[in-house]
Amino acid sequence: MNFDWLAGEVDDIGNFFAWHVALSVIPVLVALVLAVPIGWLVKQSGFLRPALLGTVGLLYTIPSLALFVLLPLVLGTQILDPLNVVVALTVYTLALLVRTVCDGLEAVSSDVLQAANAMGYRRIARFFRVELPLAVPVIGAGLRVAVVSNVSIVSIAALIGTPQLGSLFTEGLELHFLTPIFTGIILCVALAVLLDSLVLIITRQLTGWQPRT
Amino acid sequence: MIVFKNVTKRYDNGTIAVDDLSLEAPKGRITIFVGPSGCGKTTSLRMINRLIAPTSGSILLDGQPTEAMNLAQLRRKIGYVIQHAGLFPHLNVVQNIATTARLKGIAKKQALLIASELLERVGLDLSFGNRYPWQLSGGQQQRVGVARALASDPEFMLMDEPFSAVDPVVRHQLQEEFLRLQRDIGKTIIMVTHDIDEALKLGDQVAVLRTGGVLAQVASPKELLSNPADSFVADFVGRDRGYRYLSFVDAASSLAVMIEPVVALGTEAAAARIVAKDQWILVVNAAAQPLGWVDLDRQSGPLRESDLNLSGTLASQDHSLRQVLDAALSAPSGRGVIVDAGRVLAGSVRLSDVVAAIQSAKAAGWGGRP
């Protein structure tokens, strides 16, 4: 490790880190907001459900680099626009979360739903006050996978020039210099652990009603 | 009052779950739907709050047809209790109970207050209020389920096998408490059960349904036992219906209660023999509550707790002949122990006297409780 180089680059690295955080977190938030209604619709879709979940799952198999390059054509954005990365990662996160939300809603016991119906909950109230809170443990678990995988996928966006920790990898490669590469890896792992813990803590806060072992 | 008018439920595949059901569940009374599985009892219950839609016919709540009511409004008028309680796992006990009051539009603070009061009403300590459902036993969950149904103070209650998922001891306890509660609140209740004993014990009126959703008979428990409409009902109420009928005959009027000599624990066997009527002596505590019998033929030295024979049941003075007969049959001495409301000894009855009382009650056309 060349610490003199690190000291000189600390501003740039801080900047990369901030971008990396934004590029991994914003798509998760957007995808979560979209996945809740979509997951509910898929759950309601009856015999179409396996087909819909299969299709959504397929989105995850599109290579990320291809998506980064193709999105400007679809969205009419500049090739270097960070929006491309945000949209691409939103698509991936959505692919993970729609299934998760759907599974979470299906895990709610039929006794509970029957009781809620019989008590006179209307559909929307039942969803927000009963079904969604009870799906939080499953959704939280899915979110943890999503944030961690996003942190790693974001770095690929360095290849299309979006600044973030992945830029340290391309830089190190070009300069034949290991310090930026190590720095990038360490910061990526640290960020993944940090975000994962954050989701875990929030989930725990929302599920104080669950037995803890 | 809940009225079924020619209600039929036919499923798309042609199966008839309920066939032209007409009956009235009187206001403030408990009506029980009982029958073998596949008799349509639960379907009938769920058609009342339209969890299931009838194919034809109509159901009236206090004269108003349910099909004309707004669905959510209809359901908020009716308390609903199911087998596994169906409590909300993410809400604590008080919050669970308060949900029905909240749905009715009662402010949060007020609703939580009502919920805490109901908690005590259904026999749970206030300290249970902030526990979550997974921290409760099945019986406790069921109590909370009943409290939740009551929190909106509904006029009607529907109960779907509410006591069948708990063990027999707890079930008995819940049934007794439920009857006591109903004496206070006087709701119009329809309950479904497959257990004829439960139906006869809890029902003011029992509707027996047969497979295919046909009403076989609707009558008071007493009428059902003494006058079953057909062989299906007779079989369903059971072979021991003669014995069961004694549940509905008061013992107090016809029974001669004798004085029973007693001793305290620690009495020497020799001293006990002096007061005893025969080889059996009844042991009581300081409050004159019976503890058990001791066989003096096998006893020497002071009477200890481990010497007690506990096989005898107790019958209260205002109990039915069934309980008095059971007390006499189960006592090793052949003398049934009679106690008052505070479990204090009132005396004993001989088996032969109980049988004589049964004979004279039968000869007099039973009498006793309606």
- Where does residue B20 fall: left (phi above 0), alpha (psi -120 to 50 degrees), or beta otherwise? left
Instruction: Give the nearest chain A residue to B97 (CA atoms).
Output: A119
Domain with CATH 3.40.50.300 in chain B: 2-247
pLDDT digits (tens, 9 = 90+) for B175-234: 999 999 999 999 999 999 999 999 999 999 999 999 999 999 999 999 999 899 999 999
> In the CATH hierarchy, which fold is given to the domain comprising B2-247?
Rossmann fold (3.40.50)
Q: Which two tokens stand for residue A14?
A: 């801080």
pLDDT > 70? residue B35: yes
Residues 6 or more apart whose CB falls under 8 angstroms from that of A132 comprise A36, A105
Q: Hey, is the C-beta of A112 within 8 angstroms of any chain B C-beta?
A: yes
CB-side neighbour CA atoms (13 Å) of B197: 10
Chain A residues near residue B51 by CB distance under 8 angstroms: 114, 117-118
CATH 3.60.110.10: does it fit domain B252-363?
no
Number of neighbours of residue B317 by Cβ within 10 angstroms: 15
pLDDT > 50? residue B370: no
Buried residues in A111-124 as b, exposed as e (16+ CB within 10 A): ebbbbbbbbbbeee
Q: Could you write out the DSSP letters of every residue in A80-127?
A: T-HHHHHHHHHHHHHHHHHHHHHHHHHTS-HHHHHHHHHHT--HHHHI
Chain A residues near residue B75 by CB distance under 8 angstroms: 117-120
| Bridge partners, B207 (sequence order) | B33, B218
Q: Hey, is the C-beta of B74 within 8 angstroms of any chain A C-beta?
A: yes
B333 sits in which H/E element = none
Q: Which residue in the set B72, B86, B88 is minimally distant from A120, CB to CB?
A: B72
pLDDT > 70? residue B369: no
pLDDT digits (tens, 9 = 90+) for B52-75: 999 999 999 999 999 999 999 999
Chain B residues near residue A117 by CB distance under 8 angstroms: 51, 75
Q: Which domains does chain A have, with CATH numbers?
A: 3-206 (1.10.3720.10)
The reply to whether residue A112 touches residue B86, judged by beta carbons under 8 angstroms, is yes
Q: Hey, is the C-beta of B134 within 8 angstroms of any chain A C-beta?
A: yes
How far is B8 from B215, CA to CA, in rounded Å? 11
A32-38 long-range contacts (CB < 8 A, ≥24 apart) are A32/A93, A32/A97, A32/A139, A32/A143, A34/A90, A34/A94, A35/A93, A35/A94, A35/A97, A35/A98, A35/A100, A35/A101, A36/A101, A36/A132, A38/A94, A38/A98, A38/A101
Q: What is the pLDDT of residue B368?
A: 45
Chain A residues near residue B74 by CB distance under 8 angstroms: 120
Domain with CATH 3.10.580.10 in chain B: 252-363
Q: Hey, is the C-beta of A119 within 8 angstroms of any chain B C-beta?
A: yes
8 A C-beta contact, residue B151 and residue B115: yes
How far is A149 from A147, CA to CA, in rounded Å? 6
How far is B313 from B319, CA to CA, in rounded Å? 13
How far is A71 from B99, CA to CA, in rounded Å? 48
Q: What residues of chain A, 188 to 207, have a C-beta less than 8 Å from chain B?
A: 207
Residues in chain A: 213
Amino acid (one-letter) located at B2? I
- pLDDT-derived band at B367, boundaries 50, 70, 90: low
ipTM: 0.82
Q: Which two tokens stand for residue A1?
A: 């490790």
Instruction: Give the nearest chain A residue to B132 (CA atoms).
Output: A209
Quote the mean pLDDT of chain B.
92
Q: Are strands B16-25 and B64-65 parallel, antiparallel or unpaired?
A: unpaired
Specify the residue for token string 């004979």. Answer: B359
How far is B270 from B268, CA to CA, in rounded Å? 5
Amino acid (one-letter) located at A49? R
pLDDT digits (tens, 9 = 90+) for B88-147: 999 999 999 999 999 999 999 999 999 999 999 999 999 999 999 999 999 999 999 999
Q: Which residue in the set B51, B89, B134 is minimally distant from A118, CB to CB?
A: B51
Instruction: Give the nearest chain A residue to B99 (CA atoms).
Output: A119
Number of neighbours of residue B38 by Cβ within 10 angstroms: 14
More confident residue, B59 or A168: B59
How far is A59 from B356, CA to CA, in rounded Å? 85
Q: What residues of chain A, 17 to 76, have a C-beta less than 8 Å from chain B?
A: none
